[in-house]
Structure 1
Amino acid sequence: MARYTGPVCKLCRREGFKLYLKGERCFSPRCGQIKRPVAPGQHGASTRKLTQYGMQLRSKQVVKRIYGVLERQFRRYFEMAVRKQEETGNALLKILESRLDNTVFRMGFASSRRQARQLVSHGHVMVNGRRVNKPSFNLRVGDVVEIKEKSRVVLPVKEAVEAAKERAAYPWLEVNYEDFKGTYLRYPAREEVEIPVDLQSIIELYSK
C-alpha cells in the first residue's frame, strides 16, 4: 500500500505548527519546526491569506498527516463516517483513533505513529492473541493489544515504554507496561482527543 516516505519535518513546517510525527525529537531543540519555522520551498517565508476552501483543505491535510493516511483511504473513512448514525466528525475521529497503529502509539509501545506502523507491519503486535500485521486494522471495544514476547526486547519498544511510564494514560485505554499489553476500553470522545483543526471544516469540504 502506498505511503508517504518523504521528510516528515517538512510536513510540520508546511502546516506552521508541530504535528508530532517524529516522537521524542519533536520535543527537543532539533525539531525542524523550531530550527526552520517557515514553510518549505522557495517562497516559504512569504505569507498569504487563505480562502475558505484553502483553510478547509489545510484542515484535511493536517488530520491526514497526523494519522498517516493518504487521500483515497481518508475519503473512504469519511464515507464510512457519513453512514453511521451519529455526528460525522465524531464518527470519523473514532474510526481514525481505532486504527491499530494509532492505538499502539497511544498505548506507548512506539514513540510515533510511523514507528507504530512499522512495528505492526513487521509482525511485532498481536490483537486478542493473534498476530496482526495490518496497521489500518480497526479495533473494537474490549480488544487486547500486546507486543509479542520475543519483540519486547527491541530497543525502540523498550525506550518508548520507559518514556510512556512517565506520562498519563489516555482514559479510553488501559495499559499494563509490565506485560506490554493494553485494552481498548471504549471509543474516545471528541474533547478527549487533541486535534488542532475543526473537523466540521473537513465535512464541509467533502460535502461540496
Structure 2
Amino acid sequence: MARYTGPRLRIVRRLGTDLPGLTRKIADRRPYPPGEHGQGRQRFSEFKKQLYAKQKLRYNYGVNEQQLRNLFVEAQRSREPAGLMLLRLLEQRLDNVVFRSGLAPTIPAARQLVVHGHIQVDGNKVDRPSYRVKPGSQISLREKSRNLTIVEESIANPALRYPTYLTVDENAKTATMDQLPGREDVPVQVDETLVVEYYSPRL
C-alpha cells in the first residue's frame, strides 16, 4: 500500500482525531466522517477499532503499510511491550524528529527537507526519512538551508510543544535527542494495544 497523498482533512474526519503529523487542520467545522452517511450513528466492531488505531499511526507518521508492519515485527522482538516499542520506533524516525524539533510544519514537509538533503545528523547529511535517530544525536540544517522560508515560519509557529526527549535550540536551529521517546511524548490519541491486537493474528 502506497503512502497517502490525498486530502488530509478527510482522513482526520474519518478517523475522528487530530493527526498533527499529517496536517495542522482540525475537523472542528465538520467533526464527523466524510460522505453521505457521515453524520449518522457510527458502529464500531472490535476489528474496526483495531483498524482505526493502526490507521491513526500510519497516517500521522506518514508510513506505508509494509513499513508499519516491519516496525511492529521489530517491536515484537523487543523486551519492551510491543505497543510502546512501536510508538518509540515511529517517534525515532528522522522525518518525525525534524517535525518535532519545529523545523517543519508537518511530517510530509519534514520528509521533503530530509529527501532534498537539507538535514544533517551529527554533521553528516542524511537523506533517508526512515533513518533512526538515537540518543545523543544532534539534528541540524545544512548551512545553505538555514534560512529556508518553511523553516523560519515553522520555528516561529511550531505545531506542537517540544517533546521531553529533545533539547531544541531555536537560534541555532538544532535539536539533540537526550533520551528515548516515552509514551507521554506521542501526540496522537491512540490505544496502541489495539494496534497490537490488529497485527498479532496476521503475522
- Where does 1:180-191 land on structure 2 (aligned, <5 Å)? 180-191=173-184
CA drift of 1:52 comes to 0.8
Aligned to 2:196: 203
Count of aligned positions: 200
Indicate the SS of the match to 2:69: helix
> Are the counterparts in 1 of residues 2 and 65 from structure 2 also a CA contact under 8 Å?
no
Amino acid at match of 2:10: K
Indicate the SS of the match to 2:120: strand
Aligned to 1:147: 141
1:128 aligns with 2:122: yes
- Where does 1:27-42 land on structure 2 (aligned, <5 Å)? 31=26, 33-42=27-36
Aligned to 1:174: 167
1:110 aligns with 2:111: no
- Where does 1:29-108 land on structure 2 (aligned, <5 Å)? 31=26, 33-108=27-102
Output the CA distance in 2 between the equivalents of 1:14 and 1:168: 25
- Gaps of at least 5 residues in structure 1 are none
Indicate the SS of the match to 2:28: helix
- Gaps of at least 5 residues in structure 2 are none
Deviates further, 88-97 or 36-45: 36-45
Output the CA distance in 1 between the equivalents of 2:170 and 2:154: 10
Output the CA distance in 1 between the equivalents of 2:36 and 2:145: 44
Output the CA distance in 2 between the equivalents of 1:142 and 1:106: 16
Output the CA distance in 2 between the equivalents of 1:127 and 1:82: 28
Aligned to 2:154: 160
Output the CA distance in 2 between the equivalents of 1:56 and 1:107: 30
Output the CA distance in 2 between the equivalents of 1:41 and 1:102: 31
Indicate the SS of the match to 1:86: coil
Output the CA distance in 2 between the equivalents of 1:105 and 1:123: 15
Q: Tell which has more relative contact order, 1 or 2 (C-alpha 8 A, sep 6+).
A: 2
Amino acid at match of 1:55: K
Output the CA distance in 2 between the equivalents of 1:16 and 1:200: 18
Per-residue CA deviations over 1:14-45 (Å, capped at 9, x if unaligned) read 1122212223xx3xxxx4x1233221223322
Indicate the SS of the match to 1:117: helix
Aligned to 1:22: 23
Output the CA distance in 2 between the equivalents of 1:73 and 1:89: 15
Deviates further, 46-55 or 102-111: 46-55
TM superposition outliers: structure 1 runs of 4+ over 6 Å: none
Output the CA distance in 2 between the equivalents of 1:167 and 1:6: 23
CA drift of 1:168 comes to 4.7
CA drift of 1:2 comes to 4.0
Amino acid at match of 2:143: E
